[in-house]
Amino acid sequence: MDSFEVVPLPPGHFGDGSKSAWPKEQYWKQTDDRLYRQKLATMWMQKSGKLVRGEQYILDRLPDGYALLKRPRFSAPDIWDKFVYGHPSGACFNSPNQFFPHFYWPPGPKSVTVPMQSSRGRPLKNPKALPPRRPTDTEGTPDVFREAITKLKRLGEVDEPIHEHQSMDWRAGNKPIRENIVRLGLQGSYVPRVGEVVLWMPQLDGELRYDDSTGVYRVFSVKANRFMNIPKWRAGTIGQAPDKDPVVLADLIQPTSKEWAVNYSGFRVETFPDPNSDEKSSSLQYAYIHIHLIRPFYSWPIWLMNVPEKDWHSSIKYAMTVMSSFSLVDKYHFSGEWPDASVDCRGMFLGPEMIIAGDAVRLKPAGASLDTDLPSVTDVMVIDRIQFKLISCIDDAQSPLLAEKHQVRVRGKVYTLSPVRAYHELGEYGPPPLSRHEVINAFQQTSMTEYGPWYRAHKIGTLVEVSQDMIIGRCYEPSAMELVFGKTALNFDLAGMLASRDWARRADNRLHDDQHWFWADYRTQALGIDTLNGEDVGRYSDARNCKMWKAVLNILDGTASKGDYDAAKLPRRAGRPLSTTKDKSQFAEIGKMSTLVTRALHIDTSANVSSNEDVDNTTSSEDEGGDMAMAIDYRNKPLGGGSNGDNGNSDTQVNFSVSLPIRVDSVSPQKIKRPRLS
């Protein structure tokens, strides 16, 4: 600092800077602003005419409320990008040169009475009167939820679908996600879904049986007629589901005959990495397996019964660490009356599983805890709607929150196996169970009557609303339960769910002491993984070039500027560009053909177009001056014959089609006579 002349900024240099405008994400870090202060001071002294050649200048600080922040580049995390934040609009400056017009005061560093200059040199009477900017996220994508809240406050009531046309994620994934959700509703609930966490083993040489002598599930060899080793269970993420051969119920015991190999007819499962560490190499350990090697993750207490924890694969506890996290899927509708609002979603990832509207999910009994004997699970909800509720919305673009309180609520019809919990009218002694026809209409799953008699848990025409904490997981078909667990109990994984969530709330570094759930924006963030199916995901993806994506969307929407075509990195044809000037064809008119050609092709050029034939005088931009291919079929016709009376003498028969290029005169296409084919 001794070689620099320090230029002090007066207190309250200009008062528009605000720390509340800084980004709130955890990956933003404040960094050394020395270079910025040097360049700003030098440009300031030069602009005010006080620059002394050979002197070096530096500001004592950046203006109040402004700071230089850095974040890892999404496409290259080893590179850190720096920005100046603090402007009340939320905008940032990515260089000293860009920040200086906003910073500059003409009279010099000692005056505080002259208004601040705008980026175009015009004085601003009030810095906060800058043209309003659309609220955006850290990638520059418009925040449609913040805009919806602003609209809700202005109108008082809003009920409209959600469209994110300027989001490449939404444009590319909206339709496939909806199609996938429809397919999920048509398959069995016991089939694992992409993105779910499961318990799996790489192989099984025999049958999985319970060994009464040791109290452990082991591999039983039918040939040797004895128990072998303990399966090598591990936790993993479903990266791919069967694409060709569908999964059938018999596959739960042994894979049925498949037309396709396991990489098409099976599941790709990747070993789960440590969510609290940057080391994610274990996710590169994957296998393609059939469903008989997969179990629901919450059922780990059954399959690892009496197996010492030191013998567990490390991925199992890694997966337990994220069991108290969730993320919403396909937020498609916004509605509300100020100040409250709700966002409808088609699904959500909750702990290890994905649930969607229409699924039947098992509900946790009231008071269920690991410290007491676990009660029976009797209640099942058929989901009608999944909502993200915003209580007391905040209409402030600088606020990191959308509302003062956020909550997720799952709404649907509840049915119970317990007559005691069944709904009955006042004075009614005992409600009758649902008929077989009513059970079929109530559940999407088949054979639900095998669980026992079902009762309504509430009045007809009403719905029940629960939080995500009350949901254990999907309710599987009774036949699938019999094949995998040997019984049709609804509480087979209640202990595993409670233990996993308790472990997560103590082990997940992303949760504070007073937090019970980690709210993630997307599934890979909830799982804390960097790769899936061998591809980088999230902000680590090399393909995540937001500037290029924005340019591509502008081109698709017809609003592109000249710079967008460069930023879009569209592939272009190599070499010298084609000439736009085309020579006039020597065959612009059919009548100019030689007699030899016309006879060989059986074209009668002496006949004009009849008056009752329509002549198309319109030409498109593709046809003007271009080549048109006219296919002429000459099957079983004598070569050399013509329609003008010159019958060919040759008895040679030909069977071929000729593609005749015909040049069209773009100047006067109406003069062309249509050839008549014989």
CB count within 10 Å of CB 526 equals 23
Q: What is the pLDDT of residues 510-563, one digit of tens each?
A: 998 888 999 998 899 999 988 888 888 866 566 778 888 889 999 999 998 888
Would you place residue 243 in the very low, low, confident or very high pLDDT band (cuts 50, 70, 90)?
confident
Q: Is 290 in a helix, a strand, or coil?
A: coil
The most confident of the ranges 120-134, 386-400, 424-438, 498-512 is 498-512
Q: Which of 69-73, 131-135, 172-176, 616-620 has the lowest mean pLDDT?
A: 616-620
Can you list the domains of the chain with their CATH numbers?
5-104 (no CATH), 144-160+323-479+515-523 (2.30.30), 172-320 (no CATH), 545-591 (no CATH)
Question: Across residues 246-254, what is the average pLDDT?
Answer: 93
Please, where are the H alpha helices in 576-670? 595-600
Q: How confident is the model at residue 258 (pLDDT cuts 50, 70, 90)?
A: very high
* Residue 672 to residue 69: CA distance in whole angstroms: 70
Q: In this predicted structure, what is the pLDDT of residue 79?
A: 78
pTM: 0.69
Q: What are the structure tokens assigned to 658, written together?
A: 């000729």
Q: What is the pLDDT of residues 361-384, one digit of tens each?
A: 999 998 898 888 999 999 999 999
Which has more pLDDT, 362 or 566?
362
Q: Which residues contact 660 (CB under 8 A, 6 or more apart)?
A: 601, 629, 630, 631, 632
What SS3 string covers 186-251?
HCCCCCCCCCCEEEECCCCCCEEEEECCCCEEEEEECCCCEECCCCCCEEEEEEECCCCCCCCHHH
Whole-angstrom Cα distance, residue 258 to residue 260? 5
What's the mean per-residue pLDDT of the chain?
79
> What is the DSSP secondary-structure string of 329-345?
EEEEEEEEETTEEEEEE
Distance CA 255, CA 411 (A): 37
| pLDDT interval class at 87 (50, 70, 90) | confident
Decide which of 539 and 449 is more confident: 449
Does the pLDDT at position 115 exceed 50?
no
Q: Is the pLDDT of residue 615 over 70?
A: no
R_g of the chain, CA atoms, integer Å: 36
Cα 57 to Cα 35: distance, rounded to the nearest angstrom: 11
CA distance 52 to 12: 27
